[in-house]
Structures are given as structure tokens and as C-alpha cells.
Amino acid sequence: MLVRHYEDIEAVELMEGVKKRVVIGENEGAPTFIMRIFDLDPGKSSPFHVHPWEHEIFVLKGSGSATNDEGEQVSLGEGDTIFVPADEKHCLTNTGGDIFRFMCLIPMGVEESKAKNVE
């Protein structure tokens, strides 16, 4: 069993105001899933993107919104969960005044480089 605090993992800044930590993955011996923690600064968004795998999201802190491929926005807050099916365009945005933090699970073996940013 592996137990550690997520802040012990170095955050990687993907773009201004968007940080990612891979807290459980291949390096930890996980055979099936990758667990990532994202922090979005106020007013920042993940890119609007699409990829051929599903992912599951759990909001840990703050408030934000999720936007789908039809431009529909859903408000999000602590404790909310999101299921994003494969090939659905989406992005998450911090709509609050503090960090918007969420956990995102993806299948092991996906190539994140296959995610395509879309407008």
C-alpha cells in the first residue's frame, strides 16, 4: 500500500495558471488507472480539447464550470463529479476567486499527446 500527501508530488505547470500532479500512476505500480490532481488559478481554464478515452473528475476545492461540445456550461463546486465520455469535447474553468482543484482519473496507457485542442 502506498500512502502520501498529494502536495508531496511536484506540480507541473502545463500553461499559465494550470498545474498538474500525477499522484498515482505507472511509477507507483498502478496497472489500470492514472490519478491526477489539477489546480486552476482564478479565471483560468483547461484547453477546450477532445481525446479517445473517458475520464472521471471529482471536484475537491473551489468553484468552476465544465463546458461540453455544444457550448453548454454546468456550474461545479466541492463534491461534484463529472463523467466525460471518450471523444466528447470539454474544458473546465475556474469561475471563483480561489484555486479550483479537481481529481481526474484516466486509463493507464493512454497517450496524452493524442488529446487535441479544439476551438
Could you tell me the three cell numbers for 66?
465544465
Q: Tell me which residue of 45, 20, 47, 31 sits closest to 103, measured CA to CA.
A: 20
Specify the pTM.
0.91
Q: How confident is the model at residue 63 (pLDDT cuts 50, 70, 90)?
A: very high
Q: Dihedrals φ, ψ of 5, to 5°?
A: -85, 140
Q: How confident is the model at residue 69 (pLDDT cuts 50, 70, 90)?
A: confident
- Tens digits of residue pLDDT in 76-102: 999 999 999 999 999 999 999 999 999
CB 45 within 8 A of CB 102: no
- Tens digits of residue pLDDT in 15-62: 999 999 999 999 999 999 999 999 999 999 998 888 888 999 999 999
Show me where the domains of the chain are located. 9-38+52-109
Average of per-residue pLDDT across 3-18: 95
Query: In CATH, what is the architecture of 9-38+52-109?
Result: Sandwich (2.60)
